[in-house]
């Protein structure tokens, strides 16, 4: 059974004069989900169209603990390429290390923005949040709390 593809992201890099394009997707499975990577640009959500182009996949039952989405499958894809070690090392530095650093910097900015917004909320709001036991586990949770913070700021300023 072919599950549809979702979350397409394209990663491009040039190493030793060669241009590389990796297209990564998520795909549901009967046991969880997987990330797949193809060499070259793909613009489809139909699994059968990319089946023969897959150069790497990473399977998961629950969630991943990657520095950024598709990190593991990209590592595998780069390792599976028929290129010399110097090209492989440059691709890892460009695609993996640079993307991880960019994602880290983005997260730091998001945390600073969240803290700045939280600092503007009322003391009673901070007390309610501290005593609520709220745990933010994903982007939707963060958006919901941000919405509550903005409401508090509007109502109390």
Domain boundaries, given as residue ranges, for the chain? 5-107, 120-156
Identify the bridge partners of residue 6 per DSSP, sorted by sequence position: 26
- Residues of the chain falling short of pLDDT 70: 1-2, 42-50
Give 52: exposed, middle or buried? Use CB within 10 Å, 0-12, 13-18, 19+: exposed
Identify the pLDDT of residue 48: 62
Identify the pLDDT of residue 96: 92
CB atoms < 10 A from the CB of 20, how many? Answer: 20
Whole-prediction pTM: 0.72
Under 8 Å between Cβ of 15 and 94: yes
Give 77: exposed, middle or buried? Use CB within 10 Å, 0-12, 13-18, 19+: buried
Identify the pLDDT of residue 45: 63
Sheet containing strand 18-28, edge to edge, reads 5-15, 18-28, 33-39, 54-60
User: What's 22's DSSP letter?
Assistant: E
């Amino acid at each position: 059974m072919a599950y549809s593809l979702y979350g397409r992201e394209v990663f491009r890099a040039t190493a030793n004069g060669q241009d590389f394009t990796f297209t990564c997707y998520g795909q549901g499975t009967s046991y969880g989900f997987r990330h797949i990577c193809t060499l070259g640009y793909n613009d489809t959500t139909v699994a059968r169209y990319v089946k023969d182009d897959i150069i790497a996949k990473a399977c998961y039952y629950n969630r991943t603990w990657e520095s950024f989405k598709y990190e593991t499958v990209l590592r595998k894809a780069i390792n599976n390429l028929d290129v010399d070690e110097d090209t492989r090392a440059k691709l890892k530095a460009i695609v993996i290390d640079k993307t991880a650093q960019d994602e880290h910097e983005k997260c730091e900015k998001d945390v600073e923005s969240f803290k700045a917004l939280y600092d503007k909320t009322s003391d009673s709001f901070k007390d309610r949040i501290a005593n609520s036991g709220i745990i933010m586990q994903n982007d939707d949770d963060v958006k919901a709390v941000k919405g509550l913070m903005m409401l508090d700021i509007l109502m109390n300023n």
